[in-house]
């Protein structure tokens, strides 16, 4: 003896109401599993330490008259100079459309 579909749907509705699930008889992908999860944002924010002021922030705040030495930035610039001296640096950016078209020829 088969149970009618409407009776099974009513049973599913009651079941979902009792166990606080969403009633989805068509089986559509609604994303409820993801939406029910706890938010990860506050946990991540509390895990990482607060960002303290950097040398760039101080330079912006006090202007060019306040001289600061950023060792990491100087090392980066020095390594770029060395690369450019060896011919390994980044190519110059093209300023106009004609300059960029000039080098779009065939590739070898």
pLDDT tens track for 45-102: 888 887 788 888 888 888 878 888 889 889 999 999 999 999 998 888 888 888 777 7
Residue 74 lies in a domain: yes
Average the pLDDT over each of 8-17, 18-27, 47-56, 81-90 and give the range with the smallest value: 47-56
Are the CB atoms for 102 and 95 separated by under 8 Å?
no
Flag whether 80 is in a domain: yes
Report pLDDT for 39. 85
Does a structural domain hold residue 35? no
Cα gap 30→55, rounded to integer Å: 47
What residue numbers bound the domain in which 82 lies? 53-88
Cα 79 to the center of its chain, rounded Å = 28
Residue linked to tokens 């579909």? 5
Question: Is residue 97 a part of any domain in this protein?
Answer: no
Higher pLDDT, 18 or 30: 18
Domain total for the chain? 1
- 23 is a domain residue: no
């Amino acid at each position: 003896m088969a149970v009618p579909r409407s009776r099974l749907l009513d049973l599913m509705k009651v079941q979902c109401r009792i166990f606080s699930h969403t009633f989805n008889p068509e089986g559509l992908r609604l994303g409820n599993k993801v939406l029910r999860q706890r938010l990860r944002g506050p946990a991540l924010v509390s895990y990482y330490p607060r960002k303290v002021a950097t040398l760039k922030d101080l330079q912006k705040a006090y202007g060019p008259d306040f001289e600061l030495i950023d060792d990491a930035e100087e090392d980066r610039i020095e390594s770029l100079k060395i690369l450019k001296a060896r011919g390994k640096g980044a190519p110059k950016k093209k300023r106009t459309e004609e300059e960029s078209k000039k080098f779009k020829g065939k590739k070898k």
